[in-house]
Amino acid sequence: MEGFLHFNLQRANAFVLFLLFCTLILWFIRAARTRQDLFIRKIAGLNAIDEAVGRATELGRKVLYVPGISSIDENQTIASLAVLSHVARMTARYNTELDVPNKDPLTFASARETVKEAYIQEGRPDLYNDSIVHYVTYDQFAYTASVAGIMMRERPATNFLIGSFAAESLLLAETGQASGAIQIAGTAEIAQLPFFVCACDYTLIGEELYAAGAYLSRDPAMLGSIKGQDWTKALVGLAIIVGTLAATTGLFDLARLFRAR
């Protein structure tokens, strides 16, 4: 009881919005479990994954998967591992070589489990070995140099650059482009998105990356959460329009309700 007396009232607005968001998501997850006709728009970058892995299989070359440079406490990394799981299943199914170099040690440990489990679930544990997912270094540019070296020396047919990236995004994407690989990138880092759009064949922009796991699994519950998220976005859009009109006409200050403290 003592803990609840210390509720931060300055964050009450955030709490109400948090509850509203959770309610919408959970309601749509529940609704999705009973309905099978949920429409989710096509995401070109995710549809291209099968084609990209197929290309590597046909060429007899490897698939390079870069899960970004952040640790596992970053949402983008978790989203990236969901895509990695799908890619690993495909490489296991088609007996295609997969290479996952890592910068962060916790991401490395998680990626290894993800890939191992994907090979087991695909019924090909014999194809898995520990060198598929390997650690490189904790230094950003040393990691970049190593991955760029893999791209130019070993010429993977397909490069996935999915996760959280910083200054190395363009170095990697341009090197991959020069090596002639088909490239699928995805990040929510605003500053890095233009680089990926310029240098990659497909780019998952922001929310598309977070939706990847749900989109690829086609699990109704997960797709329901995307639907709930879209409805929240519509409400946010409505609030922006109403807020803009109210501020322009001087009626009231709606932004005050949303101000973070």
Partner 1 sequence: MFLRVQLPLLLTFLAGLIPIVAFFFTEKARLVKVPNDRLEKWMIIIAGFAIMLGVVNVVQGNIRKIERKGPGWHYAIFLLIGLVLPGSFGLLGAFNVGPFHGISPHADGSPSPFSFFVSYVFQPLQATMFSLLAFYVASAAFRAFRVRNLEATILLLAAVVVMLGRIPLGESLFAWIPGGKLALGTFTEWLMNNPNTAAQRGIMIGAALGAASLSLRVILGIERSYLGLEKD
Residues 185, 163: Cα–Cα separation, whole Å: 8
| Contact between 86 and partner 1 per CB under 8 A | yes
| Closest C-alpha to 17, from 244, 233, 242 | 233
Q: Of 224, 259, 231, 247, which is closest to residue 33 (Cα–Cα)?
A: 224
> Binding residue for partner 1 (CB under 8 A) from 20, 44, 198, 245?
198
Shortest distance, position 118 Cβ to partner 1, whole Å: 5
Interface with partner 1, residue 210, by CB under 8 A: yes
Who contacts 246 (Cβ-Cβ below 8 Å, separation ≥6)?
252, 253, 254
Does 242 interact with partner 1 (rule: CB under 8 A)?
no
One residue of 171, 243, 246, 254 binding partner 1 per CB under 8 A: 171
75 binds partner 1 (CB under 8 A): yes
How far is the C-alpha of 118 from the C-alpha of 102, rounded, in Å? 18
Site for partner 1 in 17-36 (CB under 8 A): 18, 21-22, 25, 29
Q: Which residue lies nearer to partner 1 by CB, 37 or 130?
A: 130
- Total residues interacting with partner 1, rule: CB under 8 A: 88
Q: Going residue by residue from 111 to 150, which x/- string records binding to partner 1, judged by CB under 8 A?
A: --xxxxxx-xx--------xx--xxxxxx-xx-xx---x-
Q: How far is CA 41 from CA 14, 47, 183, 216, 234, in A?
A: 29, 11, 22, 12, 15
Q: Does 164 bind partner 1 (CB under 8 A)?
A: no
Q: Nearest-CA neighbor of 67 among 148, 150, 165?
A: 165
Question: Nearest approach, Cβ of 58 to partner 1 (angstroms)?
Answer: 22
Q: Which of 233, 238, 244, 258 binds partner 1 (CB under 8 A)?
A: 233
* 228 contacts partner 1 (rule: CB under 8 A): yes
Kindly state the smallest distance separating residue 107's Cβ from partner 1, in Å. Answer: 9
Q: Give the residue among 213, 161, 189 at the shortest CA–CA distance from 40.
A: 213
119 contact partners, CB below 8 Å, separation of at least 6 = 88, 92, 125, 127, 128
